[in-house]
Chain A
């Protein structure tokens, strides 16, 4: 590929940067903000911080937080009604991937109208969205910098991926301090998600030198800081570095897109209400095994980024070591390792395989895939 494109929002990174949210909105011309969050964010107290910041900036605001882990089309529609009823003119998303994806989806409906289903796919958005400021309080989703929004279609029981340049937020705020409130389980799951983003982006068919840099940094940071971050809420250095890892993996996958892990985990997520990070971390080593053949050099690079000594090893060998590393990391942080252990049923696999085959993320997967291949990977991970 000769022509590259790299896109990102304005990024505000650092401890205490969450205080900037009100001012940031004001700069974008907002007067009446819809703040989208979820019960977890409210419990952690971050919504209050955001509200305070908005008040200080003299903004009117309305809050919406009827959101579940895998956000649904109904929740988006409900949020949009709140936006319309209160005549909002801008959106703040506070939280992890769910809040931010819903915030984006509400933004789509606010100016484009209709049903969220009609925007599934690539470049279906025709009118500009209202100003969006996203505050990421979980390291992992990368949604605050990406051009993606993933929403569950409740009728079809499937995750819809909406991809559009317009979904890139205007301003992304990453405050590592927000990570201290996360549980060890959530820290682990989101951390594995960051790693998955980094690895998938790095081996993606759409990877470019610009995304490679981001992916490489993300992978190295996860290898170094995920364990200590899971271990202690008080380790600020680990939290800050995991936040940076999340940001960089987000920038990488937003521009290089993902691969089979995400395609498959979208299929699982559509059916089961599971932590995205958990599903990813279970599938990741199995997909890496399958994909190794497609680009042994890149997998060898990954082993290097993970801090392994691969001197004298063939690319394939180094790649296998990387896979082992990932498995070990999962075990170390106590994340689930089998689909069966988190409740995925065997009889659903055929259906999920077909669904995954048609997921947009599958397009950039380095190795060609068939439905049977996917089913085989599912079985290995089960």
Chain B
């Protein structure tokens, strides 16, 4: 009967009323608000990766928003790596029990349980319960229920999120699925941030490497526009401001049609060239860079300034050669000295026993003076060949000229070349090595002679002049060697000092003379200048600082 009465009550609706749209609307608005907030949270997490927000800020942000829809009190994040579970972030910051960085023990840990089961877990904190190490933490912090969400990224568990509340929260299906989504998003974010950092570090390493290389490295596009460059390139080419407006052809001082990048594009292979850039000799390598479609989109250029290396090489060759000649000369001189002593001694004895005005006496005098000359030549040869003694001392450039002329004057004059010597006898002293300076003079004279050799007709003249000049407030000693030979092409004038550069026939020149000479001049604090015009002649001026 009671049941029937209940049914009647149901039918007549004593305990029910018509549904109201107002309450329905309120419920719906509340639900929408919750949904919106949830979306906002998910959205925030997705966004924050882009703006590189720290995990602490991110937790704070989401915590504030979560609080508007769930009565939560604390949120903590522990990350799992290398079989270790570490507490990494907690918000609010003061709700700490274990310190940040604390490694959670595997035994009796509810966090570990979640990591191992990969399942969400709702845990209601019981009084005086000690089944988990975390229980005490929650009691201490006044947390009565916790929702634990595993963070899973690409099928791998990377941590656990703990959402604590002072109340016993009743999460419904929709809430749980939101938290799963929240956890998944967070996991993706954490993973992405980690990968991003990794990429950033390795990118930085490569950039540092790129910068640290002492050779020049540039990246250019197919038009030759400079995209990137390292410090060495920046210094050498004086690149600054907006490098994109500069072109590799402009830097190399070449025409567009000589552009090696075009060869890269055509052959799809690396290209090697040697360029003279800003009076330096550079090895040029360019490597094509391919994109996923296997088409070239850029070229890496590697430039190595080998000027110094070549100069050293040249000097080594030259001094090796000189050393060999010197040794040989010393040996020959020694061998010749004894017979010469005998020739000179005997000629002297014979001269005494013959009347002065007689044919024999004249012949003997000739023998004697020629022997004397031989001895002088041998002496000069010995002095010159002693290249190993590069001691600096006060010396006169005039002496160097005399010494060299003593060696090769005859040779030059035999070619019908007039040598005009105009030495300033009051020329200042220089501090240097007489043999080395002599070597410069020798090289300049040989070059002048060779230039005249190829010339037909007219009088061939080599003019040698020494003097002291004042430039920029300091005194310089100069030696000018001037010829009226064939001259030098304008385009070669820049290159004549480069090692191994020569216009002479093979076997005649090594291309070392001028480069070694310049090297010596620079070692003495001086320079060599060249003035030349094709068909008219050349003048080389050695400038050395005068001794103070």
Contacts and interface: CB of A to CB of B under 8 A. Distances in A.
Interface residues of B, number: 16
B24 A5 contact: no
A3 B11 CA distance: 13
B12 A255 contact: yes
A165 B18 CA distance: 5
A206 B16 contact: no
B12 A256 contact: yes
A162 B187 CA distance: 50
B19 interface: yes
Interface stretch (B2-10, B160-168, B295-303, B437-445): B2-10
A364 B11 contact: yes
Contacts of B16: 123, 164-165
Contacts of A1: 5, 8
B11 A163 contact: yes
A338 to B, nearest CB: 31
Consensus secondary structure, chain B interface: helix
Contact of B8 (A126, A147, A164, A257): A257
Contact of B12 (A125, A168, A206): A206
Nearest to B25: A128
A341 to B, nearest CB: 33
A166 B12 contact: no
Given A128-B24, A165-B19, A205-B4, 19 more contacts: A4-B12, A4-B14, A122-B7, A122-B10, A122-B11, A123-B13, A123-B16, A126-B19, A127-B19, A128-B18, A147-B13, A165-B16, A168-B18, A205-B8, A206-B8, A255-B12, A257-B11, A363-B8, A363-B11
A165 B17 contact: yes
A24 to B, nearest CB: 17
Nearest to A364: B8
A189 interface: no
A25 interface: no
Contacts of B10: 122-123
B11 A360 contact: yes
Interface of B: 4-5, 7-8, 10-14, 16-21, 24
Interface in A120-151: 122-123, 125-129, 147
Contact of B19 (A147, A166, A360, A364): A166
Given A127-B19, A128-B20, A128-B21, A5 B8 contact: no
Interface in A318-367: 360, 363-364
A128 B12 CA distance: 19
A126 to B, nearest CB: 7
Q: For B5, B11, B12, B20, which residue has the most chain A Cβ atoms within 10 angstroms? A: B12
Nearest 8 pairs between A and B by C-beta?
A128-B19, A165-B18, A122-B10, A363-B7, A128-B21, A206-B8, A206-B12, A166-B19
17 contacts: A1-B8, A4-B12, A4-B14, A122-B10, A123-B10, A123-B13, A123-B16, A127-B24, A147-B13, A166-B19, A168-B18, A205-B8, A206-B11, A360-B11, A363-B7, A364-B8, A364-B11
Contacts of A164: 16
B23 to A, nearest CB: 8
Contacts of B14: 3-5
B22 to A, nearest CB: 9
A55 B4 CA distance: 48
Nearest to A126: B19
A144 to B, nearest CB: 15
A1 B14 CA distance: 11
A1 B5 CA distance: 9
A364 B24 CA distance: 32
A134 to B, nearest CB: 15
A308 interface: no
A7 interface: yes
A256 B10 CA distance: 11
A165 B20 contact: no
B13 A7 contact: yes
Consensus secondary structure, chain A interface: loop
A364 B13 CA distance: 13
Contacts of A205: 4, 8
Contacts of A168: 18
B11 A166 contact: no
Given A127-B19, A165-B18, A363-B4, A257 B24 contact: no
A85 B7 CA distance: 38
Contacts of B17: 165
Interface string A168-195: 1000000000000000000000000000
Contacts of B21: 128
B32 to A, nearest CB: 15
A126 B27 CA distance: 12
A3 B13 CA distance: 11
A129 B19 contact: yes
B27 to A, nearest CB: 9
Nearest to B10: A122
Interface string A241-262: 0000000000000011100000
A125 B20 CA distance: 12
Nearest to B3: A363
Contacts of A257: 8, 11-12
A165 B19 CA distance: 8
A128 B13 CA distance: 16
A205 B18 CA distance: 23
A4 B8 CA distance: 11
Nearest to A170: B18
A123 B9 CA distance: 11
B319 to A, nearest CB: 101
Contacts of A206: 8, 11-12
Nearest to B5: A1
B30 to A, nearest CB: 15
B249 to A, nearest CB: 69
Contacts of B12: 4-5, 206, 255-257
Contacts of A163: 11
Nearest to B13: A165
A205 B1 CA distance: 12
Interface in A6-20: 7
B104 to A, nearest CB: 45
Nearest to B21: A128
A122 B11 CA distance: 7
Contacts of B4: 205, 363
Nearest to B8: A206
B353 to A, nearest CB: 150
Contacts of B8: 1, 205-206, 257, 363-364
A125 B13 contact: no
Interface string A28-59: 00000000000000000000000000000000
Contacts of A126: 19
Contacts of A363: 4, 7-8, 11
Nearest to A207: B12
A128 B18 CA distance: 7
Contacts of A122: 7, 10-11
